[in-house]
Chain A
Amino acid sequence: MDPKWIFQIFLTGLVMGGIYALIAVGLNLIYGTMRLINIAHGELIMLGAYITYWLYTICGISPLLSIFIVLVSCALIGLAVYKGLFLSMIKNSKSVKTLESNSLLIFFGLSIGFSNIACLLWTADIRGYTYMTRVVHICGVPLMYNRLFALIVSLVVCLLCYTLLHKTMLGKAIRAFIQNKEASQLTGIRPNLIYKCSFSLAFALAGLAGCLLSMFYEITPFMGFPYTIIAFITVVLGGLGNILGSLLGGFILGLIESLGVNLTSPGFRPILTYSVFIFIILIKPKGIFGRGVY
């Protein structure tokens, strides 16, 4: 057991884990507050990646700057989707069960709509660009600058999310809302505000993840779906409705993946991820943290 080897696995695991955490928090917010099953979450990642790509190749705007553009535009898309499709549906729905299944269908429609519009507009070509590809050595372990950058950004954003959800009034309201919808409404929390915030925050975070991913992964119109599934896995790992759990779950999943890929081969990565997922959901359906960390 070479310590360098362990550190290498740890580092690559953290890079992917940070991105998984970003995706999962958004998905969890949408499910936790509104009980909507967002199958189209990965498509926002795709959109974020494409926005970054076009801004970089056409306008020459560096991905460091386009992070902010992506955040704002994806948040706006989130607001538009909420206003247009879900505002009246959440108000009028009779039971949680119908809301869950209807939202699954609407998001499925959105998902095929978004990915095929992207395919029509920008063709199905696999795209990519090179940015910050210099290699940096951290304690003797080589890592590309763009991955390091992605790691730092995702860590910072995760910390910001944590602070937002645990230290501010808005975050506390959101968590209270996830815990008990009716009781929190009695204390004066306006559901409309919570819904708006969680939709825009979730979509913005997914866009950010796409922006970061685009720096070192290929971009296609159909790249989103695997990430949607990964996001679900992460959410289940950390516990549905448990935001902090998703943050930690993302990193845990990243580490498990990088360890597993190192011990076997990259082809086994999906099998490994799904077996972890099926195992967790069957053994501990409330997530590995249960209801411990809220």
Chain B
Amino acid sequence: MKNIYRGCLFLILLCFFLLPYVASDYYIALFFNVLMWIALTVSWVILSGYSGYISLAHSAFFGLGAYFMALTWSYLPYLLIIFLAGVLSGGFALAIGLPFLKVRGPYFVILTLGLTEFVKFIFVNLEIKLGGTVGRVLIQTPSLISLYYCLLIVSLASIVTAIWIKRSKFGVALLSIKEDEDTANSVGINTTLYKLLAFGISSFTPGMVGAILALRHSYIDPYTVFSPIISFQVIVMAFLGGVEKVHSAILGVVMLTFLSEALWVRYPHAYLIILGVIVIIVVKFMPLGMLHYVEVILKRKIHEFFTSS
């Protein structure tokens, strides 16, 4: 069974690596989107899924990465910038983490939302004051295929990190914070350190993804790269699948990305309305995440199949 599972994983990975050679630009762009949301959502799970601190700060880190790329694009090789953008976002998270992570529950949610807006308006004002413009254009950006491979590596790295954390002592500590932080603290788990580390690691990826996206869109302005919708979409995707597991979060991403693509093509005007309704229905009727129900149904089917024959 384990070998079959590994074989499947290897096949999927191979498909992702070979995709640019066989698929048209449309499909590369589509899977580019899938990879982007996988990277963002899985990195979100590292902090918020494991430790229960629901963060809306992903857009802030995403935007920081994008702006770092826009500012340094003409001076440095882009692979280096992508990495440095991650370092910058992670460093920023570590710098603000200590006071921020003392705040709990709904306060943390609102605080991170406020942080995103705060950073956004600082950039809006800087653009107006220094550049006299609203956004930035990046010229001679790399091709879609090379960016696709960058993103593939980034998302693989974040998946591997998330799984490794979950299996290590670190992950157990984070899960214990979710269960009961004070008890975890009193049995000798250094919750502050673990939360801070998780926050840093979890914000490393959005910085890199933001930098890649800036190259992909070749135009950025503060209102789009710091848009709170990014954070919300990440949360919706994670919750659709189920928050605590990496593979269910990925399933949520894949489902929602393809669904929004299909809706977007068919009903461009009603797309967001339908998306809103789907979110409400899933949360209301499947509070444990969609994957849970998919698993239950699959198990029942398999059971029926074997008992009937």
Name A residues whose Cβ lies closer than 8 Å to a Cβ of B.
31, 35, 37, 85, 89, 97-98, 100-102, 104-106, 108-113, 116-117, 120, 225, 229, 232-233, 236, 240, 267-268, 270-271, 274-275, 277-278, 281-282, 285
Contacts and interface: CB of A to CB of B under 8 A. Distances in A.
Contacts of B114: 229, 232-233, 274, 277-278, 281
A106 B236 contact: no
A85 B277 contact: no
Contacts of B52: 97
Contacts of A113: 272-273, 276-277, 280
Nearest to A96: B105
Contacts of B54: 101, 104
Nearest to B275: A112
Nearest to A115: B272
Interface string B118-137: 10011011001000000000
Interface centre among B122, B125, B278, B287 (most CB of A within 10 A): B287
A278 B113 CA distance: 10
Given A109-B279, A109-B283, A120-B270, A232 B118 contact: no
Contacts of A267: 124-125, 128
Nearest to B99: A282
Interface in B3-35: none
Given A109-B275, A112-B279, 14 more contacts: A100-B105, A101-B239, A104-B54, A106-B279, A109-B277, A225-B228, A270-B118, A270-B121, A274-B115, A277-B118, A278-B118, A281-B111, A282-B102, A282-B111
Contacts of A236: 107, 110
Contact of B273 (A117, A232, A270, A281): A117
Given A105-B236, A268-B125, A274-B117, A116 B272 contact: yes
B269 interface: yes
B100 to A, nearest CB: 8
A109 B280 contact: yes
Contacts of A278: 111, 114-115, 118
A102 B125 contact: no
Q: Is the interface of A mostly helix, strand, loop or mixed?
A: helix
9 contacts: A104-B109, A105-B236, A106-B283, A109-B276, A236-B107, A240-B106, A275-B118, A278-B111, A285-B103
A274 B121 contact: yes
A8 B128 CA distance: 28
Task: Identify the 7 closest CB pairs spanning chains A and B, nearest first.
Answer: A113-B276, A109-B279, A274-B118, A270-B121, A109-B280, A109-B276, A116-B272
Contact of B235 (A85, A100, A104, A110): A104
